[in-house]
Structure 1
Amino acid sequence: MDLDALIGCLTSSACLVTQTTSGFIIGMLLFLVAVGLTLIFGVLKVVNFSHGAFYMFGAYFAMTAYQVTGSFALALLCGALGTAIIGLVFERVFMSRVYGGDVLMQLLVCYAFVLIFDDVVRLVWGPEFRSMGMPAAFQVPPLSIAGGVVPPFYILLIGVALAVAAILGLGLARTRIGKVIRAAAHNPGMVSALGINTGMIYGGVFALGGLLAGLAGALAAPVRSLTPGMGFSVLIESFIVTVIGGMGSILGALIGALLIGLIRSFGSLGFPLFTEGLMYLFMVIVLVARPTGFFGKDIA
C-alpha cells in the first residue's frame, strides 16, 4: 500500500489528468465489450461466456487488415464486421439450439467455443505475442492538458466509445427497430405473434454484440499485446461491469466501466498489489447495497 503516491497524484493536476485519462481508456474498452454482453443478456437472456473471444478476434482482424492495407479506418471496419459475422454464425448455428434450456448447457457451449476460438487463433496467427503498433496518423506528440500527457489516440478511443453509447441509447429508445428489440426482450411471444421474425432479431442482437466487442479489440490492438486467450481477462472484467451497472442496462454498463477503469488506474498507485482485489471489493459492496446493480432492469 502506497497512500502517499495516491495522495500525491490527487493533489497534482498533471498526474490527475494522466491517471484519469488512463482510467477512461480502460473503462471505454470495457464498456464496448460489456455493452455487447449486456445487450445479448437483456434480449436473449443468455450469458455469453464466449464474448471475450470476439474481442480477441477483433484485435487480430484489425492487425491483419492494417498490415495489408495500411489504413486504420479499414482495420477498425474489418475488426468490427468480422466479429459481427462470427457472432451471427455462432448464434444461428449453435446458441439458437440452447435457448430456453439449462443454463449450464449454455455455459458449456460458450466455454467450449472459448477453447476452440483460442486454438483457431493459434493455428492462424501463431501462439506468440503479436503487436500491431500505433498507426502512423497517431504517431504525433501527445497533447498537454494541465501538465498531464494525453496521446491523441486516447481521445479517438474515448470519442468512439461515447459515440457508440449515444447511438445505442438513442437507437433503442427512438427508432422502430430499437423498440422492436426492447419488445422482444420483454415479450418475445407477442412480438412473434405480430409476424416479426424473432430469430432474425436474436441473430442481429448477437451480431451487434460481436461487432461491439470486435470494435473494442480493434481499438485496443495499437496499445495492447495480442495473444491467444487475451479475451478472457477482458471478459471477467466485463462481467464485473455488467454486474455493477445492472444486467441489461446500457447506461449501467457505461457508468460501471468508467468506475472500474478509474479504480484500476488510481488503485495501481495506492494499492499496487491489490488492484484486482479493489475491483472485486467494489463489486461486492455494490451488490450488498443494491443486488440488481445500479440500473438492474431490462434494456434502458
Structure 2
Amino acid sequence: MLVSPRGASSLPYWMTKTTHNSIPKEADTIYTELLATDLFSIYRTAFEQVTGQTLALIHPDIISTPEDESSRCKNDFCSLMLDTEVCKNRCTEHTLDLSKRIDQQAFTATCDANITTTLIPVNTKLGIVAYLRSGQVRTDNKEIDPDFFLKVSEAMPPHVARDVVYLFDEAKVYTKDEYKSRLTLLGAFALQLSDLANNLLIKPNPKSGGIVDITKRYIHEKLSEKISLDALAENANVTNSYLCKQFKKATGLTVVEYINRHRIEMAKELLTSKNVRIIEIAYETGFQSLSQFNRSFHRYTGQSPTEYKAELSN
C-alpha cells in the first residue's frame, strides 16, 4: 500500500515542474541511449558509492524496463526478497503505482515492506522519457509490517523468513533530511539527463558521432599522458569549439569531465594493488600533480585516494 509523499511540499522547485504526458514514440530509443551514456554510468557509480543507495533508470513504460535494471538493489533485505521471487512483481507494481501518481512533482512513497522509494521523471519537450528511481531504504525506525511478513513468510522456508527479519532490522535508517539531500542531487541530475535527452531527440549531424568516437579513442589511448584540447581537435580535424559542442551533446559531459572521470576509474583499479604508491598512481593516470589528483578523486568518489585504498584493505 502506498502512503502520501514524504515532505513533497518542501521539495526543490526543479522537482515540481514536470508534467506527466503520454509516452512519446521516440521514448524507447531515447531511454536506451540514456542508459548507455557515459554520463549516466559514471554518475550512478559515484552516487551509489557516496550515498550507499541504489539508483536505477526506469523505462517510461515501467514494465519495459530491462530486468537487470528494474531489479537493481543494494540493501541486503531487498536483495533477499528479490532472490526468493517474493517481491519481484511487487517491486514492479510499486514503481508503476509511483509513476501513475507523478503529476507536477517527483513522488516518494513506501511499499508494503516499509521500504521508501522515490521516482523522479526525466522530462523532455515531448514528455517523460525515463525515471530515476532511488531510495529502497528505511527512513524511519518502524518494524517490518507483521501482516506483510506473515503473507510472505508462507512462501519461504523458516530459516529464510528469519533472515528477512534480521536483514530488515540491520538495514541502515536514513533521516528525512539525509534522504532529502540525496533527492536534491538526483533532481539536479534529472535536469542534466533531460537536457541530454532533448539533444538526442534532435536528429544528429552524421559527422558528430564520428568525431566523438575518434575523440574517445584518442583519449583512452593517451589517458596516462597529458591531453590538450588542441590535440584532440587536431586529431578530429575540427575546431576546438565545435569539438566541445558535439562532445557535450553526444555524451552529456565536457571533454575535461570525461577525461577526469575515466582517469579516476583507472586510478581506482590501480589502487587495488598494495605495491603501488598513490603518487605513482597520480602520474600514471595522467594527472600533473598529487594535489590535482587528490582533488579530482575526492570530487568524483567522495573519498581521498588514501581513504579509498584503506577501505579496500578492510
- Tell me the TM-score normalised to structure 2 length: 0.22
Larger radius of gyration: 2
Greater fraction of residues in helix: 1
Greater fraction of residues in strand: 2
